Amino acid sequence: MLRTVRELDVEGKRILVRVDFNVPLHEGKVANDKRLRESLPTINYLVEREAKVILASHLGRPKGKVVEELQLDPVAQRLSELLGRPVRKLPDCIGPQVEQAVAELEPGEVVLLENLRFHPGEEANDPEFARALASLADLFVNDAFATAHRRHASNWGVAQHLPAAAGFLMERELEALSKVRDNPEHPFVALIGGVKAEDKVGVLMDLLGKVDTFLIGGGVAFTLLRAQGKEVASSPVDESLLGEGARFLEEARQRGAKVVLPRDVQAAPQPSPQVESRTVPIEGIPSGWMGLDIGPETIEEFKEHIEGARTIIWTGPLGAFEVPQFAAGTRTIAEAVAASPAFSVIGGGETAEAVEEFGLAEKMSHVSTGGGACLHFLRGKELPAVEPLRA
């Protein structure tokens, strides 16, 4: 049973909240504040109950060193605007200055610690770093689902020293994803895309036996097509995964799971705007060209399966959607998923960015904030940072 923030006596207490503010910055400002907005229910709940709120997050990959462009000042500024109250960004996340600032906190006030990953102890799950973070607070709330598949000092280590509970975002993510993992309605359709096959072939294997139909695009599809012996010109193929891809296709056949690969693609020499492109059959990609989006025949076939689905998970765009002329497949399929009565889960990362960009996020049943954590969970693997939150 998940223990949630509702079960903690937070009034007047110092609450360390692990949030996920790993957001894109542009010219010193937050370029997309979705992750900040997702954290507001938990922060507001604590503020309304006169807790002293200490927020902790990482940003980017500074590799244990202070990187000026990855300081959290723009995040504190945008969060202040969203909360309608000041959020003071502290100069570090541990040490005497931080301890002094936390000691002076008044009930209902909010501070944001500096980037956790400026300290090598964060990703190394260093016990001393975890202990130093925990010493700032009376209670710990983990609301950073996107890091739940990592065993780091700020999500797992701290929970060894403080009473710990899940925030509202963590709770919502686990509820939605548990429904798909443990009790999906059938037909169950998995849309799998993205450039890198290495991120997805293991996922395909783990979903066998649960999913009825796999609709596969992107680099994953080209690796599987090559595993079938098809020529795909210069399309992205992971040669090291051809054996595993062939095993997946054979096992899917034996288990009666349908695997739908692209029949046609939008091909071009490179994924850049205004480049010459054309729709071709999968084995008709010109030499030196690559498939950059699924073609119209494939789109129609994918849509037919989506229309009959009762559960849909989608991870990875189906083409280079960031270039307008290669966005049609991802956009049209996103519209089909949004229109479907199925319970639909969008698996974070680029797929979440795409449905947001298309204005369709609100029409999906659940858009996960964590691509890696979402897939980890749906594959049936434990999330280390969630273990300490269970009663």
pLDDT digits (tens, 9 = 90+) for 44-83: 999 999 999 999 999 999 999 999 999 999 999 999 999 9
Q: Which of 13, 35, 210, 303 is catalytic?
A: 35
Shared domain for 277 and 329, answered yes or no, is yes
Residue 176: closest CA among 13, 373, 388: 373
Q: Which of 319, 349, 370, 371 is catalytic?
A: 349
What pLDDT, on the 0 to 100 scale, is given for residue 391? Answer: 75
Half-sphere exposure of 104 (CA within 13 A, CB side): 9
Residue 162 in domain: yes
Q: Which of 34, 151, 196, 258 is catalytic?
A: 196
What pLDDT, on the 0 to 100 scale, is given for residue 78? Answer: 98
Residue 263 in domain: yes
Residue 176 in domain: no
Q: Which of 14, 310, 372, 379 is catalytic?
A: 372
What pLDDT, on the 0 to 100 scale, is given for residue 40? Answer: 98
Query: Which stretches of the chain score pLDDT less than 50?
Result: none
Shared domain for 93 and 189, answered yes or no, is no
Last residue of a domain, one of 125, 141, 170: 170
- Told to judge if 372 belongs to the known catalytic residues of this protein, a careful annotator would answer yes
CA–CA distance, 224 with 211 (Å, rounded to integer): 18
CA–CA distance, 339 with 73 (Å, rounded to integer): 40
- Told to judge if 108 belongs to the known catalytic residues of this protein, a careful annotator would answer no
CA–CA distance, 45 with 237 (Å, rounded to integer): 48
Residue 198: closest CA among 318, 349, 32, 316: 316
Segments forming the whole domain that contains residue 79: 5-170
| Backbone phi, psi, residue 165, to 5° | -150, 165
Residue 25 in domain: yes
- In this predicted model, what pLDDT tens digit does every residue of 97-110 receive, in sequence order? 999 999 999 999 99
Shared domain for 68 and 216, answered yes or no, is no
Shared domain for 280 and 192, answered yes or no, is yes
- Told to judge if 35 belongs to the known catalytic residues of this protein, a careful annotator would answer yes
Can you read off the two tokens belonging to residue 348?
């974070």
**Angle subtended by helix axes 168-182 and 371-378, to nearest 10:** 40
Residue 179 in domain: no
Shared domain for 149 and 278, answered yes or no, is no
What pLDDT, on the 0 to 100 scale, is given for residue 343? Answer: 97
| Backbone phi, psi, residue 238, to 5° | -95, 100
Shared domain for 202 and 63, answered yes or no, is no
What pLDDT, on the 0 to 100 scale, is given for residue 365? Answer: 96
Shared domain for 245 and 371, answered yes or no, is yes
Residue 383 in domain: no
Alpha helix positions (H), the chain: 34-48, 73-83, 96-103, 120-123, 127-134, 168-182, 201-207, 218-227, 242-255, 296-307, 328-339, 349-357, 371-378
Shared domain for 222 and 370, answered yes or no, is yes
What pLDDT, on the 0 to 100 scale, is given for residue 307? Answer: 96
Residue 43: closest CA among 56, 31, 32: 56
CA–CA distance, 335 with 254 (Å, rounded to integer): 32
CA–CA distance, 317 with 328 (Å, rounded to integer): 11
CA–CA distance, 205 with 46 (Å, rounded to integer): 42
How many distinct structural domains can be found in the chain?
A: 2
Last residue of a domain, one of 170, 204, 239: 170
pTM for the full model? Answer: 0.90
